[in-house]
Every structure is written in C-alpha cells, then in structure tokens.
Amino acid sequence: MDVLELARTQFAVTGSLHFLFVVLTLGLAPLVAIMNTRWALSRKPVHGAMTRFWGQVYVVNYALGIVTGLVMEFQFGLSWSGLSHYAGDVFGAPLAMETLVAFFLESTFLGLWIFGWGRLPRWLHLACIWLVTLTAYASAFSIMVANSFLQNPAGSVARGGRLELVDVGALLTNKALIFSFPHVIGAGLFTGAMVLVGASAYQLRRRTEHVEFFTRSLRTGVVAAALGIFLTIGFGYAQFAGVQEGKFDGNPGAAIPLGFMIEFGQLLALVMLFVLLPMVGVLHRWRWTHPLLMLMTPLPFILAIMGWLAREVGRQPWMIWGKLTVADAMSPGLTQGMITGSLVGFAGVLGLLAVVDYVLIARIIRRGPRDLDLGAVPATESRSPALSY
C-alpha cells in the first residue's frame, strides 16, 4: 500500500476499535441510570444490585474507552494536518467541545457517582448518573456534528484558501446530522441492551442462584434492545433522504458494508420485535434459547462497525465532500515507515485495551452480583443516615 492507503487504514482500524467502546458506553449509560432510578424509587435490594453490577461494567468500559479516544486526537495532527489547516476553524470547534464535555463534565459527574455511594444524598447521587448520560450524549452529538460537516460542509464558506464558519445554526441542523445522531443513539442502546441479554442468558443457562436478578436484567435488555433496533432502523432509512447523489454508486468499499448492515439489521429487527419481545416473560425459563441469545450479543458491535465503514468509505475520495480530497488532507512528508510504525503501535495499544476491556467485563459477568467494588463502603467508615441509601 502507498502512504495514503496506509494512513486511511490506520484511521479505519483505530476508529473502529475506539467505536467499540463508544457504542457500549452510549448504550449502558441510560440503562444504568434507569436502574438507579428504580432503586431510588422502590428501595428494592435487587434494583440496587442491578445498578451496582451493570454500573461496574459501564465504568470498566468507560475507563478504558476514554484512553482509546486520545489516539484519535493524535492522528489528526500526525496524518491529517491538511484537514486542520483547511477546515480547522470549523471542524475543530465541535471536537474541542467534545473534549471539554468528555474529559471534564462527563468524567466529573461519573467520579461523583462512583465515589458518592453512601456519601451523597440519594437524589443528588441519582442526578449524577443522569448527568453522566446526558453529557455522554452531548459528547456523541459533538462528534456527529464534526463528522456530519465532513459529509456535508454546511454553514461554511471558503475564504483565502480556508473554510470559515459563517452559520452555526446550519452546522447544528446539518441534513447529514439530524437523522444520523439518533441513529447512533439507537445503535448504542441496542448494543448495551444486548450485552444485558447475553450476560443474563449466560447466567441463567448456568442455573445461577441470582435468578430474579438476571431475569429482570434479561427482560430489561430485551425491551431496551427492541426499542434500540427500532430507532436504529427507522433513523437509518431516514438518512437516505440526505445522502449525496452517487455516494455509494460504483463504490464497493462502501456498498458492501451497507448491504451487510441493512440486511442483517432488518433480520435482527424482525427477531427482536416479533419473536423475543412477545416472549419476554418466558425467555428466562426457556433454556434452549439462552445459547442463541449469547450468540447474538456481538452482532450489534459488528453492525455498528459496518455502518461506520459505510458512512466513511462512501465519502471517498473526499475528506470534506466536494471541498477537500483525502490526498490533500494528508500531512506532507509522511513516509511508509512512519505510518506503518504508528499503525502497528496504535492498533496494538487499542487492540490490547479492547482485549483487557472484554476480559474484565467477562470476569464481572461470570462472577455475578457479589463482592462488587462499585458502591462498596469500607466497614470502618461510618455512614450518616442523612446521606446514605
């Protein structure tokens, strides 16, 4: 491969690995917030256990995923300085907002939620996890604003050989954004919910002692997954109204993932909405279905990557549609050795983090809701009745 193809491959590999963390984070955050709300309202121990258990899975994925995001930032300066020079005034603004939201607001609220168990008032502690969810969505919105600008450079004009932002409203109401953002949110919810479904099926298959816990988790996961796939399919089709003419024609690199994503997405939607959702009340007893549910768990991750590839590859050869080609966006002076070395390094680090993430999550799931670190208060620490759960 030449230098340009290596640089594109580097971004595709690292972007795909990072997105695996992102899509699970977006899905688990609202589910944990809903569990925490049910606990705060009902005071039932099972709801508290579900909040701590699935919250611990979320925290592990978030902590490792935030590190992978740093690699994405490095690549813009390393490989795509032409993009920064030509459109940094527009493209850089939503990226900067995402950094502020993810690294400051979201992380702060998550820290308060993690360390506030038994220390913060119940409703204030609950508010923290909802703020984590809202800031996670705000972070995703900022990224989709930046990505949609690449698809359709709305709100900008070319002056002096550079793009300048002239209409913030047009940037935030980009036709490439208004349906793609809820599409991503739906995909995240579907992914996070299927992790609940697969993990619960695994434990119920093993005849766990925590039957009520995983039965409730399975039901929550099926309902949320059905909602998630419905949103994903609906807003996915709505996006075609804003797709540029010729974007996928004669481009097998984009068309193949798009064929795959649509066909398997439709099949999963039919299964979720017309098979699993009507049987949600009995799935926990039908052990023959549990291996099938476990096998379905990785499918949302695969479909999410296929969708991302179709969206990005379909834009080729443009980095910014109709304005800047990928070749012109690449940093000058790059060599095959430089890109190959960074590709191996970035892919190795992100791949290792992905393996660690899934190993840790698998251990949490295998162990079940006992001896959880999240929410555990040392025995020597006194609890104030006014602040404790």
Residue range 350-360, pLDDT digits in tens? 999 999 999 99
- Whether cis (ω within 30° of 0) applies to the bond prior to 317 is yes
pLDDT for 278-321, tens place per residue?
A: 888 898 888 899 999 999 999 999 999 998 888 888 888 899 99
Beta bridge partners of 158: 163
Is residue 217 domain-resident?
A: yes
Give the integer Cα–Cα distance in Å for 110 and 128: 7
170-190 pLDDT, tens digit per residue, is 999 999 999 999 999 999 999
In terms of residue numbers, what domain contains 259? 3-157+168-367
First-last CA distance in the chain: 59
Within a domain: 374:
no
pLDDT cut 70: percent of the chain above it: 93
Say if CB 165 and CB 90 are below 8 A apart.
Answer: yes
pLDDT at position 136 is 94
Indicate whether 379 belongs to any domain: no
Q: What is the mean pLDDT of residues 213-231?
A: 95
Report yes or no on 281 lying in a domain.
yes
How wide is the angle at C-alpha 247 spanned by C-alphas 242 and 248, nearest 5°? 115
Its pTM surpasses 0.95: no
- pLDDT value of position 386: 34
Tell me whether residue 373 is in a domain: no
Residue 256 located in a structural domain: yes
Q: Given this model, what pLDDT does residue 108 score?
A: 93
The predicted-structure confidence for 44-70, as pLDDT tens digits, reads as follows 999 999 999 999 999 999 999 888 887
pLDDT tens-digit series, residues 109-154:
999 999 999 899 999 999 999 999 999 999 999 999 999 999 999 9
Assigned domain for 377 exists = no
Split into its structural domains, the chain has a count of 1
Would you say residue 241 lies in a domain? yes
